[in-house]
């Protein structure tokens, strides 16, 4: 899979387009990042060349959205999105235009979402081309739509979540008219697919300002539609407090686990399914949530259960949340320190060793394939983890005794 464009790759595309007689500029986020002094991770290009003209000019081009004026140029394993200057036709579903017509740079700028994302940059002349007042809004630290906010959000409801993400990412105030339009359209966010909502939420919850993002989602009326499970009585405040505790780490899984930790497993599974996210995320979040209330007992678990917890791939976020839960509940970390001491005394190589007794061993002892075999095998492995025996010889002796007891 091709990587996002580097500045050098994007500049090569611009120069080649211009050499062929076309206009071409850097567009969107990379221009904003340049003015803010941030390192950009992606570069898009706007041009008056049509996708078919781009296709003829470059060797490896994917026409990923030709009817919307979008072509993807691939060079040296990097992809550069090249979009023809355009005006969007009417939006019927709050997600995408019915079509486009090719236009001038000034007209193209008017169809973009926010002023800070609507500027162009001429990399050869080192000149900003700003038709929408984006440069002034960057200096004022204000997030504002291009044109009427009601129109911009009515065209694409996802822009409401993008507004929150950009505002909290850059610590900008939201223009009053922009905020008012979000509140007016908030309920319509449910028309957007769960996958696109998940993508926006993931971006805003994986940065240190995640708690402010949740506060803004609630204030603008979006929260109750994108995360309705958290708006059951008593849940939102807990979710927000937990996210405030962990957001500075910039760890998406940790933040999600903190946010959803009070929810039943069925609700978490429903959210992940609605987002179209992977089952791995569902399993991670339900495991952490199921164990989160057990911070006061974990130090006294049987050794086999304690080892399994330590060996789990998501043990680290769970243990961190245990510390925060105990501190919030009791003002101390007595149990967390006991867990840490017990964990420090366990050889990592002995967390989940290979079983000394296998299923075939049990079958050789006369145990038939089925539930009994699974139950006996688990009991023997628990005993191994509990360090009741350390050698195969001792393990087989225990196995024979257990099988004989079962037969009686």
Mean pLDDT by 10 residues, the chain (408 residues): 85 96 95 94 91 90 81 91 79 54 88 96 96 97 96 94 97 97 97 96 97 97 96 91 96 98 96 97 98 97 97 97 96 97 93 95 92 94 96 95 86
d(C-alpha 322, C-alpha 294), whole Å: 8
Q: Pairing relation of β-strands 86-88 and 100-102?
A: antiparallel
| Number of C-beta neighbours around residue 253 at 10 A | 16
d(C-alpha 298, C-alpha 305), whole Å: 9
The pTM of this model reads 0.89
Position 93 scores a pLDDT of 53
Phi, psi of 43 (to 5 degrees): -130, 125
Phi, psi of 63 (to 5 degrees): -85, 75
């Amino acid at each position: 899979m091709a990587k996002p464009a580097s500045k050098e790759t994007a500049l090569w595309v611009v120069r080649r387009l211009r050499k062929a007689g076309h206009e071409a500029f850097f567009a969107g986020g990379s221009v904003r990042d340049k003015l803010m002094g941030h390192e950009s991770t992606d570069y898009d290009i706007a041009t008056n060349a049509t996708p078919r003209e781009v296709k003829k000019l470059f060797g490896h081009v994917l026409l990923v959205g030709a009817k919307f004026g979008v072509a993807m140029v691939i060079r040296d394993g990097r992809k550069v999105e090249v979009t023809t200057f355009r005006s969007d036709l009417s939006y019927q579903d709050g997600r995408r235009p019915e079509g486009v017509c090719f236009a001038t740079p000034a007209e193209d700028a008017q169809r973009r979402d926010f002023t800070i994302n609507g500027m162009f940059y001429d990399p050869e002349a080192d000149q900003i081309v700003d038709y929408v007042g984006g440069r002034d809004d960057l200096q004022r630290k204000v997030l504002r739509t291009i044109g009427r906010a009601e129109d911009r959000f009515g065209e694409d409801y996802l822009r409401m979540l993008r507004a929150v993400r950009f505002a909290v990412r850059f610590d900008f105030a939201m223009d009053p008219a922009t905020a008012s339009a979000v509140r007016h359209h908030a309920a319509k966010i449910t028309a957007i697919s769960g996958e696109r909502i998940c993508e926006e939420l993931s971006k805003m919850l994986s940065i240190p300002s995640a708690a402010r993002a949740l506060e803004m989602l609630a204030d603008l009326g979006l929260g109750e539609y994108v995360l309705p499970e958290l708006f059951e009585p008593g849940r939102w405040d807990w979710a927000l407090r937990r996210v405030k505790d962990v957001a500075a780490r910039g760890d998406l899984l940790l933040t999600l686990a903190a946010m959803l930790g009070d929810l039943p497993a069925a609700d978490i599974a429903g959210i992940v399914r609605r987002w179209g996210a992977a089952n791995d995320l569902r399993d991670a979040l339900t495991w952490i949530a199921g164990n989160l209330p057990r911070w006061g007992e974990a130090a006294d678990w049987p050794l086999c259960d304690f080892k399994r917890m330590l060996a789990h791939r998501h043990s680290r976020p769970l243990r961190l949340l245990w510390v925060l839960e105990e501190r919030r509940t009791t003002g101390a970390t007595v149990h967390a320190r006991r867990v840490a001491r017990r964990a420090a005394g366990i050889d990592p190589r002995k967390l989940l060793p290979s079983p000394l007794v296998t299923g075939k061993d049990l079958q050789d002892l006369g145990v038939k394939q089925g539930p009994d075999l699974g139950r006996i095998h688990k009991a023997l492995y628990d005993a191994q983890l509990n360090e009741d025996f350390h050698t195969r010889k001792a393990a087989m002796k225990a196995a024979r005794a257990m099988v004989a007891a079962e037969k009686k």
